[in-house]
Structure 1
């Protein structure tokens, strides 16, 4: 191409003596244009050749990638495919429900138990009015003092929906006054769950004993550590499962099991939290009832003490009256004894006088009879019959 350009220039130089300058200019432009076209054609052919040389390799690579994509999509005997994994993921999502993380409370809880929260991710958040969500505080656990670590807040109902958040209403606030204090001091962030998270053994299967001790309270961490390990003789039947020689669970007669493992009992947190709230309400009612009973008993005890003091004073007064009456009785009895003696003496005198009177009457009668006999003896006898008055 360079040689052709050089020959063209030489030809133009030799023809410049015979050609008009316009012809020379036209031929020069044609020469340079042809040179450019020739250069571009050469480069294009080179590029086509280079690109076409890689087509078999790319086609082979494309076939390999398509095969790999097909394998990833459908899976194999040793590896699950995207379709099956996506199906399992959808099942997990359906079991777990939707989750909204990094939810931030933006105000204080009001008298009706309502609080506004901000949801920045996802957008739109997808929460509808009257939906039920379960709120948890997020953050590292506090094993030394679990009450001061992240807490389960409560079950909430969505009462209003905004673009960047919602207004939540506590379901158990009126039943449990402690919820107000817990929500008032919670600064976030929260995690909102559409359904209460379920307890599963596989959630803790990949953690070491040390990690479990850091995550869980000391009161319950032992059962998480022992799960799947050989059972002890003192373990109750509710925490022991039996496996056969194929590591299949023995359902009926556990005594026929080849080995026995410790099995942690799963917890239904939705039921437990609801039942604890119910028990707390019952306990509050019982405490209030006992407090009122104590007040009534204290009032009755105070009245009894006042009555006892009154009765004690009355008893002391009656004792004084009794002492005076006993003294009066002693004086009366003494006077009675004296009167009895005087009366006995008077009665004795009367008896003596009566006896003397009778004796004197008898003597007087004898004297009269004696005098009558004397008179009768001295007097003459009457001539006729004597009338005696009979």
Structure 2
């Protein structure tokens, strides 16, 4: 059709030019110029009209499709804003859209329909309340070792919502005569007040192979001062060598722009849904090898080796059954699955810190005991050397005493022999003395008898009968 139209236009141009040229003998040159001008302007008008028609035709060709697309988008917006049932065509289009990746944006079994924006907003608010407020990209300052306080700068939060660049480009330019637009909303404060308790984490990826080389939990802090741009934090628990070194290392990394902090109003809660959509590689890259198997086995069939704290009962519909109900009526149980116990990190961190302090105190006590034992051992060795020296001296004294004892024993034997001889001599002398005394008596009696015999008796009683 376009080729035929071009041929017709070319024929008209040729016929018009031939007609005007053949009329040159009868027309004035001014008439010729006027006729040619009119002819070419007519051609230009025809060409522009045809081009305008083509452009309008191409543009209007897409209008029905765009109108249908606009109607579908408006229907989808209404479905997202006010909710829709499963049979609504807009629901299927929303499922297959890129934003949802083919997955239903709701639980079809539990909810039965797509929820409205207000319902999602309420759930989001519930999740936000459960999670608490979070302050990202906080930058710690220098650490005051005397007061154990840290000045932390917090980025302000803008009250005005972000501007869509496509909508901003489509807006008409501002009227100079119109009233000036209102100034953008000023940044609002961070909202932290003194005596507030926050939990500090490093931003970044963890390192399961070497946890101390990746992003870590810094600790629990108390806000002691607050201003428009930041807060002054103080550790809730006393710092020890480990926590103090970790805190100083994190502050130095932040000052070198290698890491920032996230401040949580509440300790993040553990849940199975957080890791449900992660594949095995992602879980292994985030979790240490000591605990990653629990996360990989979550929801898989339980084994006989799993204790009661790592298994849960499910019915035929896939709903979890309480432990007491499963024990009371085993017929309800369709399958036992591995169930990872959830962790209370707020309690666990504090308990681990307490246990660490106790262990460090025990280690310090053991080190002191080892030092005391080393000192006692050194003293014992000194005493042993002293006693060994005394033993050598006493052994030498013993030799001397044994020599003296032998001499004394020999002397004693000599003395005993002399005593025995003296006793024997004394016995002999006593016997001889007694014999001589008896002889002397007998001699004296004999002499007295002789005297009595020789001398007359003056009386009737003699000397022998005086007694």
Indicate if the aligned counterparts of 1:136 and 1:192 stay in contact, CA closer than 8 A.
Answer: yes
Aligned to 2:119: 84
Q: For residue 18 of structure 1, what is the aligned residue in structure 2?
A: none
1:180 match: 244
Answering whether residue 274 of structure 2 is matched by residue 199 of structure 1, we say no
Deviation, structure 1 residue 58: 12
1:113 aligns with 2:157: no
Say whether 1:71 aligns with 2:79. yes
> How much has 1:214 moved relative to structure 2?
1.5
Q: Which residue of 1 aligns with 2:191?
A: 127
- CA shift for structure 1 position 68: 4.9
Counterpart selection for 2:294 from 214, 223, 245: 223
Indicate the SS of the match to 1:266: coil
| Equivalent residue, structure 2, for 1:241 | 312
Match of 1:279 among 350, 355, 360: 355
1:350 Cα deviation from its structure 2 partner = 1.6
The answer to whether the 8 A contact 1:101-1:121 is kept is no
Measured after TM superposition, the shift of residue 207 of structure 1 is 0.8
Deviation of residue 336 (structure 1)?
1.3
SS at match of 2:144: coil
User: 1:306 aligns to what SS in structure 2?
Assistant: helix
Alignment partners' CA distance in 2, 1:179 and 1:219: 22
How well do the aligned residues superpose, as a CA RMSD in angstroms? 2.8
Q: Quick check: 287-296 or 124-133, which moved more? A: 287-296
What's the CA shift for 1:113? Answer: 2.4
Alpha-carbon distance in 1 for matches of 2:455, 2:240: 141
Hey, what's the Cα distance between the residues in 1 that align with 2:287 and 2:135? 23
Q: Taking structure 1 as reference, are residues 384 and 215 closer, same or farther at Cα in structure 2, changes over 3 Å only?
A: closer
Residue 311 of structure 1 and its aligned partner are, at CA, apart by 3.2
Q: CA deviation at 1:310?
A: 3.0
Would the aligned equivalents of 1:125 and 1:164 in 2 still touch at CA under 8 Å?
yes
CA contact 1:136–1:191 (8 Å) conserved in 2: yes
Q: Which stretches in structure 2 are left out of the alignment for 5+ residues? A: 1-64, 86-112, 158-186, 254-258
Deviations 1:226-284 (A, max 9, x none): 00000111000100001112222222234441100000010011111111122222223
Once the two structures are superposed, the pairs formed by residues 98-109 of structure 1 within 5 Å of their partners are: 98-105=133-140, 107-109=141-143
Shift of 1:67: 5.7
1:2-28 Cα offsets, whole Å, 9 max, x none, are: xxxxxxxxxxxxxxxxxxxxxxxxxxx
Range with bigger deviation, 187-196 or 91-100: 187-196
Tell me, yes or no, if structure 1 residue 160 matches structure 2 residue 225.
yes
The residue aligned with 2:457 is 382
CA contact (8 A) 1:156 1:171 kept: yes
For the structure 1 residues 125 and 233, does the alpha-carbon distance in structure 2 shift closer, same or farther, using more than 3 Å as the test? farther
